[in-house]
Amino acid sequence: MLAATPMGQVDDASPRLRSALRTADIVAAEDTRRTRALASALGVEIGGRVVSYYDQVEAARTPGLVSAIAGGETVLLVTDAGMPSVSDPGYRIVVACAEAGLPVTVLPGPSAVTTALAVSALPSERFCFEGFAPRKPGARAEWLRELLHQPRTAVFFESPHRIADTLAAAAEILGADRRAAVCREMTKTYEEVRRGGLAELADWAAGGVRGEITVVIAGAVAAEPDIDELADRAEALVADGMRLKDACAEVTQGSGASRRDVYQSVLDRRRADQQ
């Protein structure tokens, strides 16, 4: 079982998480001390044995846990906060169980990704999760350029030590006015959500930001296609021997423009030339 754990407010723990902590044969925890502290705060006594399962030991521990599951034991996987496998340990054991034909269940609950998205005041119908922003400036700039024309809202995690530099780079590459939200310490005592343009948020972050941070950036707004320009390109392809219908399909691919509109524009031009 993968179980989401509270990001800050203990009361966000689900009844199913409380029950699983009591009854699981093995509790695999990203940080055993934090998991024991969580159980204590919930008034729950962990019934099974507790083993560590963090990034550096994930690969080595997975086979033993899979063997335990195959042998009929219940393994509960919890991370420090939020949903396992979302930029936290968990992916490897899910893959291993799937390959072995073993059941995997999820006890849903808190997630920094969806919480930040919901409170960002940015479009949430379609979004992409980008994990942690790259640490090195060159890799970070390349990563941001990939978001330049991304129409989906993007969500990612960032360190408080790098958030100012990341927002400044985002403002330079994606545009100073691209809308964004910086969500920090969600559900905790000092929860704060800052919304605004990237340059405005970069200026704010330059003064120093603390806590766990999730950033949400609006997707790119598609430019209105230029039908006249597409019609010019279509006519050039026709002059090279392509059928008009095929030329219109070629030039409108990925543009957001209608082939019918471009086709009609070319026909209107031809009629005007004949008059």
Superfamily of domain 112-217: Tetrapyrrole methylase, C-terminal domain (3.30.950.10)
For residue range 35-72, list pLDDT tens digits in order: 999 999 999 999 999 999 999 999 999 999 999 999 99
Q: Which tokens belong to 258?
A: 């209608």
pLDDT band at residue 271 using 50, 70 and 90 as cut-offs: confident
Q: What is the pLDDT of residue 274?
A: 82
Give the mean pLDDT of 18-23.
97
Measured over the CA atoms of residue 50, residue 54, residue 59 and residue 60, the dihedral's sign is negative
Q: What is the pLDDT of residue 240?
A: 94
Give the mean pLDDT of 173-186.
97
pLDDT band at residue 225 using 50, 70 and 90 as cut-offs: confident
For residue range 70-124, list pLDDT tens digits in order: 999 999 999 999 999 999 999 999 999 999 999 999 999 999 999 999 999 999 9
Between the two ends of the chain, the Cα-to-Cα distance in Å is 74
Q: What are the domain boundaries of the chain?
A: 2-107, 112-217, 227-273
- Cα gap 272→69, rounded to integer Å: 75
Give the mean pLDDT of 3-27.
97
For residue range 123-147, list pLDDT tens digits in order: 999 999 999 999 999 999 999 999 9
For residue range 240-267, list pLDDT tens digits in order: 999 999 999 999 887 778 899 999 999 9
Where would I find the beta strands (DSSP E) of 218-268? none
b/e 10-38 (16+ beta carbons within 10 angstroms → b): eebbbebbbebbeebebbbbbbbeebeeb
pLDDT band at residue 224 using 50, 70 and 90 as cut-offs: confident
By CB neighbour count within 10 A (0-12 exposed, 13-18 middle, 19+ buried), where does 136 fall? exposed
Q: Which tokens belong to 28?
A: 């695999």
- Cα gap 179→218, rounded to integer Å: 5
Q: Which tokens belong to 64?
A: 């033993």
Superfamily of domain 2-107: Tetrapyrrole methylase, N-terminal domain (3.40.1010.10)
pLDDT band at residue 221 using 50, 70 and 90 as cut-offs: confident
- Cα gap 167→201, rounded to integer Å: 7
